[in-house]
Chains A and B, each alone.
Chain A
Amino acid sequence: TQLLEQSPQFLSIQEGENLTVYCNSSSVFSSLQWYRQEPGEGPVLLVTVVTGGEVKKLKRLTFQFGDARKDSSLHITAAQPGDTGLYLCEVPKGFNAGGTSYGKLTFGQGTILTVHP
């Protein structure tokens, strides 16, 4: 079974629409990060969430960590073509609550987002 399940795997929308991407697991995480990866480039960190129920905003992007720290969502408002890319959720090695992280990242399979002008 996958440690992290992301959904949907593919999302194709028109400019101006809103969307939500989900990252779920049966495990509890000490922290969770969202990355964005463009074709031919490495992942770039968008945000880290640590506290259950935490909400962080990054311009039109809103990230939420579930109360139980088992899941997270990424919501994009009024999507633009520049938002097109692969969105990855990731947890460090120490994914159990109170565990120690040694820096190894475990990624979900990602959501490929295409925003059409």
Chain B
Amino acid sequence: EPEVTQTPSHQVTQMGQEVILRCVPISNHLYFYWYRQILGQKVEFLVSFYNNEISEKSEIFDDQFSVERPDGSNFTLKIRSTKLEDSAMYFCASSEAGSSSYEQYFGPGTRLTVT
């Protein structure tokens, strides 16, 4: 069964450093998403991406964040200058289409620890 994959599974970085979290969505999916989950808190939407541009972003997704689809398979989330409060699980998801009738498939997540 096709699945969303994410790398790395765990990344430790120092405050102020840039990190790039990578995702490979399911191959025939057209909509891509990033969510984060701070330890002990709920899953929060960050951004959705379609047709090589951001279709929606939350208030969390400020200028420190950016997303890119550098090639036909990868979808990346970049945090330019990490802060301690960026420590969280980051989940990538993809779906065939953007409406709620299409299931979003989540990857296993990347645990980001900012020290």
- Residues of A at the B interface (CB closer than 8 Å) are 30-31, 33, 37, 40-45, 48, 88, 92-94, 100-110
Cβ of B25 within 8 Å of any chain A Cβ, yes or no, is no
User: Are A103 and B42 in contact, with the CB atoms below 8 A?
Assistant: no
User: Are A109 and B42 in contact, with the CB atoms below 8 A?
Assistant: yes
Given contacts A103-B98, A105-B45, A107-B42, contact A42 B107 (CB under 8 A): yes
User: Are A105 and B104 in contact, with the CB atoms below 8 A?
Assistant: yes
User: Are B43 and A103 in contact, with the CB atoms below 8 A?
Assistant: no
Cβ of B87 within 8 Å of any chain A Cβ, yes or no, is no
- Residues of B at the A interface (CB closer than 8 Å) are 4, 31, 33, 35, 41-45, 48, 55-56, 58, 91, 93, 95, 97-104, 106-109, 111
Among B31, B35, B100, B103, the most chain A Cβ lie within 10 Å of the Cβ of: B100
User: Are B100 and A92 in contact, with the CB atoms below 8 A?
Assistant: yes
Q: In the bound complex, what is the Cα–Cα distance between A45 and B105 (angstroms)?
A: 8
CB distance from A59 to the nearest CB of B (A): 19
Given contacts A88-B42, A102-B55, contact A41 B108 (CB under 8 A): yes
A interface SS class = loop
Residues in chain A near residue B35, CB distance under 8 A:
105
Q: Which of A88, A103, A108 contacts B99 (CB 8 A)?
A: A103
CB distance from A58 to the nearest CB of B (A): 14
Q: In the bound complex, what is the Cα–Cα distance between A41 and B106 (angstroms)?
A: 9
Q: In the bound complex, what is the Cα–Cα distance between A42 and B55 (angstroms)?
A: 22
From B92, which residue of chain A is reached at the shortest CB distance? A42
From A109, which residue of chain B is reached at the shortest CB distance? B42
CB distance from B16 to the nearest CB of A (A): 27
Given contacts A102-B98, A107-B42, A107-B44, contact A44 B104 (CB under 8 A): no
Q: Which of B44, B48, B56, B109 contacts A41 (CB 8 A)?
A: B109
Q: In the bound complex, what is the Cα–Cα distance between A44 and B103 (angstroms)?
A: 10
From B35, which residue of chain A is reached at the shortest CB distance? A105
Residues in chain B near residue A107, CB distance under 8 A:
42-44
User: Are B93 and A42 in contact, with the CB atoms below 8 A?
Assistant: yes
User: Are A30 and B91 in contact, with the CB atoms below 8 A?
Assistant: no
